Amino acid sequence: MTESRILNVAEASRRHGVLAGTYAAAMMHADPLADAVVEALHLFHGRWWPMVLKALEEGVAAVPDVPPELAALIASLPPEPKPEEWEKMERGRAAVARAGDSAGLVLQCASLMIDYWSPRAMKPLMLTGAIQQQTIHRLTQTSAWWIELHRPEGLHPKQDGYKTTVHVRLIHAFVRRMIRGSGTWNRAAWGEPINQADLFFQVVGFSKLMIDSLQRMGYWFTTEEKEGYYLFWRHTAALLGVEKALLPSVNELDCGRYWDLWMLTNPGPDTDGIALAQTTLEAVAGVGNPSAAMRRFQLWILRGATYWLLGREVGQKLQVPWTPAGFLLPLIYKPAVRISEAFAKWRGVDRGQAAARAIRKLALGNAALGIVPEGTQVVSAPERLEALAKFKPGAPAS
């Protein structure tokens, strides 16, 4: 592994031992099963998703002339958890989902923002132009996927959360295929595009960073709820194509160690990452076409929330302009959540019902914006992938 992809190797090994080597090796691993599927499916152009959807819903036997690669992928999907595991996962999911808009704020200002810390992890998005040209679509589509996952029983095979997660996995494979064919990717220096290490860190952002951020906001979780949420994301990670060897590390301790590895071994954001951080917050502030004054206020809040949730070092290196909201939010937000949580507990409010209401509210908000529909098309339409298949980077990547 060259120094351009992973820094501070000796210190990483000293702090984390074998895990550091596992993390580095994972950068050279992609998702062979999904990659084989897209080699077969790209021949169908924009018509591949209905075939995959039918195979997921009715079984591969219901699809005439199903590609054997697709049959192999579906056969490899993780088995359904045991009833006691489902129950635990649902408790963890509901405990997080009840946060509703607060969870949405974490997604926008922390879980997705931290990706910009690594120039190499962001390079696939830069090469395809997907993020610069359609920032708000990427954010709202990711949010819509998160919503589908967090609906009651959203990870059951018949639910859209499950199907859309498989969709995300195939999108990753399509993007890898496009980038490999572009002639601009330096595998020796950067690892595989959308590799296992970067994919696993996204799971860290959706699991540990989400829980830690919500706790910072004032939400409380029992040990069992946290364990259930990690189990929920372990199953989601398996659907996303995370290697079996990495799945046991979807737990609080190892996700914390991966966070440290990410911050230690990546060089920090480059000019593209800094620009994307600015663009992301500005795009979120402008969702729904608010008035100029409201847009400025929302951007003020989002910038402060980024510092609050990710810390001053990350905020400064991403060059997010500092706002006093970084001081005010902890003083106002956390006590308000604590009071609300205590009141709900006193009233005996069921967390599952609260979660269902919160998720429904988020889904209605997305639908009202008219950006993404509900259901299994929430992530990326096949036509978008077909357009990406034709992309020609303007200059070789440096």
The secondary structure of residue 63, as a DSSP letter, is S
Cα gap 232→250, rounded to integer Å: 9
Cα gap 218→333, rounded to integer Å: 8
Answer whether residue 338 is part of any domain.
yes
Whether 103 and 227 share a structural domain: yes
Phi, psi dihedral angles at 351 (to 5 degrees): -65, -35
Q: What is the pTM of this model?
A: 0.90
Per-residue pLDDT of the chain (398 residues; tens, 9 = 90+): 344 578 999 999 999 999 999 999 999 999 999 999 999 998 887 678 889 999 999 999 999 999 999 999 999 999 999 999 999 999 999 999 999 999 999 999 999 999 999 999 988 877 766 554 567 767 777 888 898 899 999 999 999 899 989 988 998 999 899 899 888 899 999 999 999 999 999 999 999 999 999 999 999 999 999 999 999 999 999 999 999 999 999 999 999 999 999 999 999 999 999 998 998 999 889 888 899 999 999 999 999 999 999 999 999 999 999 999 999 999 999 999 999 888 887 877 776 676 667 676 666 555 444 444 444 454 444 444 444 344 333 333 33
Residues 6 or more apart whose CB falls under 8 angstroms from that of 75 comprise 60
Whether 16 and 100 share a structural domain: yes
Answer whether residue 48 is part of any domain.
yes
Domain extent at residue 20: 9-30+86-388
Whether 361 and 287 share a structural domain: yes
Report the number of distinct structural domains present in the chain: 2
Answer whether residue 397 is part of any domain.
no
Identify the CA nearest to 240 among candidates 190, 273, 202: 202
Identify the CA nearest to 144 among candidates 305, 380, 384, 388: 380
Answer whether residue 208 is part of any domain.
yes
Residues 6 or more apart whose CB falls under 8 angstroms from that of 281 comprise 108, 109, 299, 302, 303, 306, 320
Answer whether residue 393 is part of any domain.
no
Whether 20 and 35 share a structural domain: no
Whether 60 and 167 share a structural domain: no
Whether 64 and 145 share a structural domain: no
Cα gap 374→366, rounded to integer Å: 9
Residues making up the chain, counted from first to last: 398
Amino acid at 136: I
Whether 171 and 60 share a structural domain: no
